[in-house]
Amino acid sequence: MRTQGFPANARRDALPKWLPLGWVFLGILLAALAFQSRVALWPRSGLRFQTFTDAGSGGHSFAEVDTSGGDLHLAMRLDSGAVWPVAGAILFLAPHGKGLDISTPGDLRVEIGTSNLESLRMCLVEEIPGFTRDDRWQTARYDCEDLDLVPGTSRYDLPLDRFLTPPWWYSTAGVRSSELGPETRRGVVRMVLQSGDGTPLRNLRELRIVLMETRTFHWAAAGTILGLSLLLGFLHFLWNRKRPAAVGPAQRNLGPVVFQPLEVVSYGDREREAIIQCIAVDYPDADLSLEKVSRSTGVPLDRITSHVKAASGLLFKAYLNRVRGEAARKLLMETDLPVSEVASRVGYGNVPHFNRIFRELFETTPSGLREQPGILDSSPPGDNPKP
């Protein structure tokens, strides 16, 4: 019995005709699969958590976590008594010495079920080899970012490179950023979720988190896979051109397709990040000025003020005073250094001037702040437990 089909030479010619493009499409598919990896922070099996409030500083705030419904339900109510009322929860993501490595560029995705919270402060707490100690909470580095919650919005993607170490941590840990270098997030052991700035007092605030995960992007792996597929496709194309019987008119006009993965980074964002980082590191310099920041970062003078305004809503001098004031407040609350020494450490050579700026920022004097009960507590609220 005979079967009807394509002639042998026609079948031989048809296969190579589409094979180069097939390698390209296969490479794109594999590169897309390898490009992104996910690490679930919630829901996560075996996840431990603990609530914290400002009780250690004389406050009366309240916090509670409930996971019985499958979501991470955080309820909190800020109350008076502490200088900075705060409440929240600590999620223990990994044991000591085995932190999560989320150093690859990517973002943190948060999906919200319901919320009447206006702002949420999120901090990734990472261990630094040779620096972090079990008996000193401040030796674990805090990388924080404020998330403004918009009614009707359920999904937020926060770039991981926006989680930066706040200036107060360097003062508390007693180091400069140049000694430790930039944030790495190679050993994240905890995540802190707490009330953000401007949360009103005495009102119950609730937040339901449905999903929280990191998504990291592997440019090198995806680029390698895509490059190999393009090379194979190009080699097949060249091989086909040497076989006249297998090359049709359409293939003679088809050139090798080259894809170059591009990472688009905003030049303005890089300038703004360099300026904010420079101020965070050099604020103890009493002579810090726009000119010095310009020399350190290479950003022209006429753009520094606009970058600072866009990042903080403040002019350069007001923002510098805010950074110095926050660092001074931490030193006053957690050390017994004289006020004059605190002023000098944060960049003020004139104590009366320091007192005036401090009063404008916090509506109290440095000495008045220390007279409040519980200020010199040795550990911050909620971070006493060790992973």
Tokens in use for 224? 């390698």
Q: Does pLDDT of 265 surpass 70?
A: no
Owner of token pair 């450490």: 345
- Residue 27: the pLDDT is 64
pLDDT > 90: percent of the chain: 42
CATH number 1.20.140.10 given to 269-370: no
Q: For residue 14, name the pLDDT band (cuts at 50, 70, 90).
A: very low
Angle at the Cα of 25 from the Cα atoms of 24 and 26, rounded to 5 degrees:
90
Domain range summary for the chain, segments of one domain joined by +: 8-36+218-252, 38-216, 269-370
pLDDT in tens, 25-73: 676 766 566 556 788 899 988 889 999 999 988 999 999 999 998 899 9
Q: What is the radius of gyration, based on Cα positions, of the chain? A: 28
Q: What is the pTM of this model?
A: 0.52
* Confidence band for 220, pLDDT divided at 50, 70 and 90: low
Q: Do domains 38-216 and 269-370 have the same CATH topology?
A: no
Measuring CA to CA, which residue among 288, 386, 383, 376 is closest to residue 337?
376
Q: What angle do CA 183, 212, 169 make, to 5 degrees?
A: 30
Pick the CATH number of 38-216 from 3.20.20.150, 3.40.50.300, 2.60.120.430, 2.40.70.10: 2.60.120.430
